[in-house]
Structure 1
Amino acid sequence: MFAEKNCHFFLLLLAGSTLVMANPVPGSCKLPNCRRPGTSIPGSLEASKIPQMVVLTFEDGVNSKQFKHLKEIFGETYKNPNGCPMKYTFFPTDIDNEYNVSSLLAGMGYELASHSLTHKVPPSAWSNMTADEFKQEMVGMKTKLTTHSNAKVAGARIPFLELGGDVPYQVFQENGFVWDSSMIAGSLTYQNDAPVWPFTLDEPVSKKYCAFGKCPKGSYPGLWEFPLNRLYNDKGEACSLVDRCELPDNTAGVLKFLRKNFYDQYYNKNRTPFGMYLHISWLRWSAIFDSAKAFLEEVAKLDDVYVVTVSQALDWVKNPTPLSQISTLPSWNCKQ
């Protein structure tokens, strides 16, 4: 009887400790290591006093043919207000990836993140993987990029954005990932809501901030989520990746879509990082690529817009810095 009572007491303590972990003490979640989901600007800074970040990402393997197109958005035209080159994040898979090319990108200061070895189909395979299967795919690609491209891999994006509950986040936390960018945020139709800032997974995330798939229910302290805020076309229809949106088949129409989302939902609101998420194969489709180039050239003329990698954007979120002091943020400074 004594042992049974002790056992019950232990279980109550364990349950209580789990509850505390999942629901941090009010005031205990503080930057730079913790941030709750929401639309408020980090550091309680005014929108007009902070940089508007643009985050351009490319999914899938990179090769020499694609690099020829990518070179069009490198160079003197594509610089940030501090004189440093615009930087982008690439999510290669092992399929069709030429590691000499991804190594070249890493050497130029572009970010590489894991997008799996095989990009296995059907998409539902990713929502039902075991931890060992997921680790083989995502950690396996991280290892290849580290070994063959000399890249520092901090993050990942799950193929098809097919979340698998807690399994992916357990694997990410146990294997040295700093961030994930797989959760979709925002309504399915345009509601004029402010987009969500990046947050940590210290407590279970609600459907408001994880709007698609099998969301995690556990707590992963210090693991960052860089959400894909939905964009909206003229009909008010939502999409998470630019090349998955229902858009006009011409540069002017796509550029109008980018401008409207950027200025109406980000630049003139809470200045959440504006995500332009593409599959690298769409570099061949001129309407998408030409509009992306034109958009980058347009924002390059603004003295408060910075095109940065996911990791650079998260560095700002962890260390909110006014525009007037942006030179003090080491990861944004190319002149050290």
Structure 2
Amino acid sequence: MSVFRSNGVRSAMAALPFAPILLICAILGNVNCQKDKEAEEFVCPEGTQGNGNFADPATCRRFYQCVDGYPYLNRCPSGLYFDDISKYCTFKAEARCGPIATTPAPITEAPLDLATKCDPAACQLPYCFCSKDGTLIPGGLDPEETPQLIMLTFDGAVNLNNFELYKKVFNGKIKNPNGCPIRGTFFLSHEYSNYAMVQALAHDGHEIATGTVSQQQGLQDKGYEEWAGEMIGMREILRRFANVSRTDVVGARAPFLKPGRNTQFKVLEDFGYIYDSSVGVPPLPIPVWPYTLDYKIAHECKSGTCPTKSFPGLWEVPFNAHYVESFEGGHCPYLDQCVLHNHDSDEVLEWLQEDFSRYYEQNRAPYMMPFHTNWFQIKALERGLHKFLQWVSGL
């Protein structure tokens, strides 16, 4: 197996039928976890499918990570505090301590199931792709003939907290078969972003994509104007302050992997985006390939807020759940949300290898590795990732 990365997820979609190689992109990570007697007194909130990060009522220095309904007590790294809005550890001045009560916003559009089931005869690459259960390889290729893509993606702000850590990942030592160094995709949000650093990443060939301006909760229930203001507003901010052209920003990701039902995708369609990467997939034995939204989504919608209408030609790069069957740490969409506490870098490497093998040894669906900054603040996790990238580049 070989490694390929040209210019983010966008180029991977265009190259699917042709490239006999592997793509690498990136995202943010998590914190040191450990069980504690106090965790037995904390009950994971209802309505979260038993998963997520929640503030410790006793102190802002800790939080609970719920995995399949069981709470694990986590401590933020030294000097950092848990932000109950963004759901990660940050500096004290930036942290909004919790628990912060939330009121679910009313649903503003009636669920409409207008998209029809996949019709492979009418859905042809490169503008359309679907399959009965989402696991079939595009173009009818055999797994041995299929490029194994790896996508490294990063969410949130880019600033002094993470810029040098990201540069260590993309230090030029790991290269594609064509001799070019690997690259990543950055889904940017506005708050705390350093746009000189964002411009430097774009200059180095990384893909710049949009999160939202505010990363607010509850956006999935907002209207067209709010979604346009958040996503298209973020694209305009990138153009103005980071000198990233509108035409280069063609990918989007919703806050907290809560897609905005049909409204968000109508905004993406109207403003010329090529793909979204917000839809979570429950843990499956065989991972799901990217697909266009011409037809019904073939898998269960984990968030419950996926589009139900047809958006022809708009790609979805789904979040396949990460998990290892022999490991008790549960499953997670972002790698930093998996419970990899008290593990050294070699154990992290082994976990990533086993998780990756479900893709490489089966249908070779793209292996997306999404991170938050927190992953890189834990040395064992950071080193484990570097070891994995070195290992996979030699396959």
Matched, 1:220 2:311: yes
Counterpart of 2:162 in 1: which secondary structure? helix
Structure 1 residue 127 displacement after superposition: 2.0
Matches within 5 A, 1:1-336: 22=116, 27-37=121-131, 38-120=134-216, 123=217, 125-151=218-244, 152-187=248-283, 193-206=285-298, 208-233=299-324, 234-235=327-328, 237-250=330-343, 251-263=345-357, 265-302=358-395
Letter of the 1:155 counterpart:
G
> What's the Cα RMSD here?
1.9
Give distance in 2, aligned partners of 1:118 and 1:203.
31
Letter of the 2:142 counterpart:
E
Letter of the 2:240 counterpart:
T
Unpaired runs of 5+ residues, structure 1, are 1-17, 303-336
Contact 2:184–2:206 at 8 Å: present in 1 too? yes
Structure 2 length normalisation: TM-score?
A: 0.66
Give distance in 2, aligned partners of 1:70 and 1:249.
23
Structure 1 residue 65 displacement after superposition: 4.0
Counterpart of 1:239 in 2: which secondary structure? coil
Contact 2:157–2:188 at 8 Å: present in 1 too? yes
- Percent identity over the alignment? 36
Give distance in 1, aligned partners of 2:189 and 2:367.
24
Letter of the 1:171 counterpart:
V
Structure 1 residue 146 displacement after superposition: 2.6
Unpaired runs of 5+ residues, structure 2, are 1-112
Give distance in 2, aligned partners of 1:51 and 1:271.
7
Structure 1 length normalisation: TM-score?
A: 0.77
Q: Which has the higher helix share?
A: 1
Structure 1 residue 236 displacement after superposition: 7.3
**Which deviations, in whole Å up to 9, do the C-alpha atoms of 1:46-81 show, x marking residues without a partner?**
211222111011110101342211221223421122
Give distance in 2, aligned partners of 1:105 and 1:236.
33
Give distance in 1, aligned partners of 2:311 and 2:194.
33
Counterpart of 1:214 in 2: which secondary structure? coil
Give distance in 2, aligned partners of 1:26 and 1:91.
31
Give distance in 1, aligned partners of 2:155 and 2:329.
25
**Which deviations, in whole Å up to 9, do the C-alpha atoms of 1:150-181 show, x marking residues without a partner?**
33101011010012211111111111111000
Number of residues paired by the alignment? 275
Letter of the 1:127 counterpart:
Q
Contact 1:131–1:171 at 8 Å: present in 2 too? yes
Q: Which has the higher contact order (CA 8 A, sep 6+)?
A: 1
